[in-house]
Chains A and B, each alone.
Chain A
Amino acid sequence: MSTAGQNRPVAWSTGDGIDGSSSKPRVVSFHFSDHVMGWAIPASLVLVWEILARAGDLPANWLPAPTVVVRTIYELGIAGDLWRHLGITVSRVAAGFVLGAGLGTFLGGLTGYIPAARKLLDPTLQSLRSVPSIAWVPLFLLWLGIQETSKVALIAVGAFFPVYLNLSVAMRHVDTKLLEIGRLYRLNNVEMVRLILLPAVLPEYIVGLRGGLGLAWMFVVAAELLGASNGLGYLMIDGEMTGRAAIIIASVFLFAICGKLSDWLMSVLGAKLLGHRAR
């Protein structure tokens, strides 16, 4: 089958088996024990951590017991602080992701579809990609101020590149034989994009979106650590300033949950969009 670029390298992959493609279970009955095996080490570590912390072998201001961390999260939740910080962080990620992924979609589509646009834009964008993300922070603060705009911009930079790269490469590699079917039926440019190009690049595009979302979560931490008065990143700084390790660990834990959850949502959405086709 001549599907567009099945074995194409993708620039970003968050393939950690969440889409079930990375490893196939040999026998269904082994599946359960595989999961148990996977949980064995983290569970024992948490247990040992709990025991050591309770025995007083770990200083509480360094590494409080897991139960203390959970209680901290609970208390923050009761007080309402948790929801405020979580809400602002999620909204920053959402805004930055929408902005960055939107721009990545537009420029990726443009450079993928029009060779002249690629020759014009791609070298510049590729060299901007090699700038370490944190290096943008002072500039963005200078240009956009310390408020929301600079944070959203930084997150957008993170989300932009995986989306841009995956889409641009995928568009370029769409099977010319399928494009000729479009010519045969005299599709105009809009129809060509809608009926052939977009469906053909959808799998790679979704991989790009998942990569972009992952980086958006990374960049929100950087943005909030470097100057914020709210958000999960601020909560971490606050925990550091006031010497409460439990708050820092709780924040780390919450970031992990949020990242995983949003990636899972994106992969579910992707699976829905891809439907039953072969992949």
Chain B
Amino acid sequence: MELPASIPTEVARADSQHGNSAHSGSKGGTVDIEIASKVFHTAFQPLPVLRDVSLTIHPGEFVCIVGGSGCGKTTLLRIVAGLETDFEGTVSLDGRRITGPSLDRGVVFQEHRLLPWLTVRDNVAFGKTGKNKRGKQESDRRSPASPEVSHYLALVGLSEFADAYPHQLSGGMSQRVAIARALAGRPEVLLLDEPFAALDALTRTRMQEELLHIWQAERTTVLLVTHDIEEAVFLADRIILMSSQPGTVRRIVNVGLARPRDRTNYDFAQVRKGVLEEFFTPPTPLTTAQGRSE
């Protein structure tokens, strides 16, 4: 059941290629997820990880996927990234079926995964070395002096560290470089897999604010996986709550809080409480149905 390629998307893409910077005006970035099932084949028995996950993420939307460990949220993100292709169902971006990784989806992992032998600038430039969705090599590969690389380094506040090596950076700085690398391919969707989980609490809070700033500046669609409910309430337009074994969408919460959000605010606390309670009540058919209807 492949979705037909939508014509407006092609127009939008053509626009973004004309302009020097992609971060202007409307872009694509609609992610349609229809996963019937995803099973890991272990040595002993098949392990179902995802079942009946059906979601649409809209252009420019910030969506957080929240769930306990083993609920398949990372697998879901890896499917959207194109790193997992063995599943039943279809996942598409702007109507084009996702069959593998591409520059139109930038990925940030929990670990920064920077190449230790490259400088910060070269690591960011590496983010442009990939192939775009038409399978073509980006023409301007490996040109560290390019203005885009400088742009993204400035965006994450690391212009002064362009010539540093990853081992010279703190955890938060490394993760910012990883974000800049993911953005350097000018993705329509930014995928983040627990990007701040390994950082200390203070750094994490600052990074969340910076991520919002980046999202507002770049207007990309963002899909972020986390197990931190407060993080999700602070960041997301919508929160996808997942339940485990096999992972499925339990409920979708529209956060609906104005930005900038205040973690100490009463409404903030209410939303967080609501999400938390949802986690500790057994799922009923009703909430599951709500989650599916989207």
Q: Determine how close the nearest CB of chain B comes to the CB of A159; give it in whole angstroms.
A: 26
B135: shortest Cβ distance to chain A, in Å?
A: 8
Shortest C-beta distance, B95 to chain A (Å), equals: 21
Residues of A within 8 Å of B113, CB to CB, are 2, 177-178, 180-181
B 177-189 to A, binary, CB cutoff 8 A, 1 in contact else 0:
0000000010000
Q: Which residues of B contact A184 (CB under 8 A)?
A: 81, 83, 101, 107, 130
Flag if B117 contacts A180 (CB, 8 Å): no
Interface residues of A in 96-136 (CB under 8 A from B): none
Interface residues of B (CB under 8 A from A): 81, 83, 100-103, 107, 109, 111, 113, 115-118, 126-127, 129-131, 165-168, 185
**Could you jot down 28 A-B contacts, CB within 8 Å?**
A1-B116, A1-B166, A1-B167, A2-B113, A177-B109, A178-B113, A178-B115, A180-B83, A181-B113, A183-B83, A183-B101, A184-B81, A184-B83, A184-B101, A185-B126, A185-B127, A185-B130, A185-B131, A185-B185, A186-B100, A186-B102, A186-B130, A186-B131, A196-B115, A199-B115, A276-B165, A277-B117, A278-B165
Interface size class of A (residues with CB under 8 A): 20 to 34
Dominant secondary structure at the B interface:
loop
The answer to whether B111 and A277 touch across the interface, beta carbons within 8 angstroms, is no
Q: With a CB–CB cut-off of 8 A, which chain B residues contact A191?
A: 129
B115, B168, B185: which has the most chain A beta carbons within 10 Å?
A: B115
Q: CB-CB < 8 A to A275: which residues of B?
A: 117
Beyond A177-B111, A181-B115, A277-B165, 17 additional contacts (C-beta under 8 Å) are A2-B111, A178-B113, A180-B83, A181-B126, A183-B83, A184-B81, A185-B103, A185-B185, A186-B102, A186-B130, A195-B126, A196-B115, A199-B115, A199-B117, A202-B117, A277-B117, A278-B166
Q: Is A11 located at the chain interface by the 8 A CB criterion?
A: no
Is A14 an interface residue, CB under 8 A from the partner?
A: no
A90 contacts the other chain (CB 8 A): no
For A178-217 the 0/1 string (1 means CB < 8 A from B) is: 1011011111000100011001101000000000000000
Cβ 8 A contact of A195, one of B129, B131, B166: B129
Min CB gap B96→A, angstroms: 15
Interface centre among B103, B109, B113, B118 (most CB of A within 10 A): B113
Q: How far is the CA of A266 from the CA of B230 in the complex (A)?
A: 54
Nearest-neighbor residue (CB-CB) of A199 within chain B = B117
Which 9 pairs across A and B sit closest by C-beta, in order of nearness? Answer: A185-B130, A278-B167, A199-B117, A186-B131, A184-B101, A3-B116, A277-B117, A177-B113, A181-B113
Query: Could you tell me the distance in whole angstroms from the C-beta of A114 to the nearest C-beta in chain B?
Result: 22
> From residue B81, how far is it (CB to closest CB) to chain A in Å?
7
Cα–Cα, bound, A143→B109 (Å) = 57
**Cα A185 to Cα B106 with chains together (Å):** 10
Least Cβ distance of B38 to chain A in Å? 18
* A278 to B107 alpha-carbon distance, docked (Å): 25
- Pair B167/A187 contact, Cβ less than 8 Å: no
* Contacting pair B101 A185 (CB below 8 A): yes
Contacts of A178 in B (CB 8 A): 113, 115
Bound form: Cα–Cα A223–B64 in Å: 69
Which chain A residue shows the least CB distance to B119?
A276
Within the complex, the shortest CB–CB distance from B93 to chain A, in Å, comes to: 15
Within 8 A of B (CB), among A142-193: 177-178, 180-181, 183-187, 191
A200 to B116, CA, bound (A): 8
Tell me whether A186 and B117 are in contact (CB under 8 A). no
